[in-house]
Amino acid sequence: MTEAPPPIIDVDRVDLVRSGRLLLDQVSMVVRPGEHWALIGPNGAGKSTLLSLLGAVQHPTRGTVEVLGNRLGRVDVRELRRHIGHVNPRHDLRSALTGREAVLTGATGSIEIPPRWTPEPEVLERADRLIAMLGVDGMSGGLWPTLSQGERGRFLIARALMPRPRLLLLDEPATGLDVAAREQLLSSIDGLRREHPELATVLVTHHLEELPASTTHAMLLRAGQVVAAGAADDVLKTKPVTACFDHPITIERRDGRWSARTAPPPA
């Protein structure tokens, strides 16, 4: 019998309290290489809070969090974060860098290009390869303020992949996108997962329509508690999603993609 690979993420009975509020309540989660998790729930459910633990941005109040084999509280989180890719559509870039230059900042872990930094040829080659893989090579020279939100999202994924992370966190990557841009982004994520089969990902969203078809696992959160977690086909069903949102919701999956609509009232 083949032994399961060690987990990328191991969250065990975690509570997180801030300003007297219990934001996470006895949350547990195990993510292994090649798994692609979705964190779903209403506003205030604790999705982004949990993602901040997985990204070594916050520490738990109680319980343990291990990321890439390192327990929070016993590791230099600055070093750990170098091995975690984090995609945030609210990326705080102030300069008019090109899309390619924004990707290159992933090699330095900075928002701006560091002064007097000259990237090595292999760094430039990796950036160009990732940009092409995500389908934005035609926009590499475009200045950040002129790029669409969807184009920026794909450049940010390329940026997050520059340090060859084993874990990629995506915080509502489809926020603010129109339907065409959303579909292009989700196709890029599906392609990325095929190209990097050992990569583990965790994606936060409010909307099931924003889940890539390659999603393997899901966790439903409500008021900081886990409503359901496990294989996506078991979790993303009408009954658990209805319980999570406290609203009658019918879930369907067609051609690998999920959709949600309000359940019709009883006849």
**Regarding beta strands 70-71 and 84-87, do their DSSP bridges make them parallel or antiparallel, or are they unpaired?**
unpaired
**Residues 155, 136 contacting (CB under 8 angstroms):** yes
What is the per-residue pLDDT for 142?
93
What is the per-residue pLDDT for 134?
87
Q: What average pLDDT does the segment 61-90 reach?
A: 90
**Residues 135, 141 contacting (CB under 8 angstroms):** no
What is the per-residue pLDDT for 266?
59
pLDDT in tens, 144-196: 889 988 888 889 989 999 989 999 999 988 888 889 888 988 998 998 898 88
> Could you tell me the two tokens for 225?
């508690």
The DSSP secondary structure of 121-139, one letter per residue, reads HHHHHHHHHHHHHTT-GGG
Question: For 51, phi and psi rounded to 5 degrees?
Answer: -60, -35
Q: What average pLDDT does the segment 67-93 reach?
A: 87
Share of the chain above pLDDT 70, in %: 97
Supply angle C-alpha 130, 134, 135, rounded to 5.
115
Q: Is the pLDDT of residue 71 over 90?
A: yes
Q: What average pLDDT does the segment 101-112 reach?
A: 88
What is the per-residue pLDDT for 219?
98
What is the per-residue pLDDT for 174?
87
Coil vs helix vs strand at 57: coil
C-alpha gyration radius of the chain = 19
Helical segments of the chain, H only: 47-54, 77-81, 99-108, 121-133, 149-161, 179-195, 232-235, 238-245
Q: Is the pTM of this model over 0.75?
A: yes
**Regarding beta strands 9-18 and 21-31, do their DSSP bridges make them parallel or antiparallel, or are they unpaired?**
antiparallel
> Cα separation of 102 and 99, whole Å?
5
> Cα separation of 39 and 242, whole Å?
15
What is the per-residue pLDDT for 94?
77
Residue 203 exposure: Cα atoms within 13 Å on the Cβ side: 31
Coil vs helix vs strand at 173: coil
> Could you tell me the two tokens for 259?
């959709």
Domain positions in the chain: 1-83+166-179+195-267, 93-164
**Does domain 1-83+166-179+195-267 fall into CATH 3.40.50.300?**
yes
Q: Is the pLDDT of residue 26 over 80?
A: yes
pLDDT in tens, 184-239: 889 989 988 988 899 999 999 988 999 999 999 999 999 999 999 999 999 999 99
What is the per-residue pLDDT for 2?
63
Distances (CA, A) of 120 to 55, 107, 256: 27, 10, 40
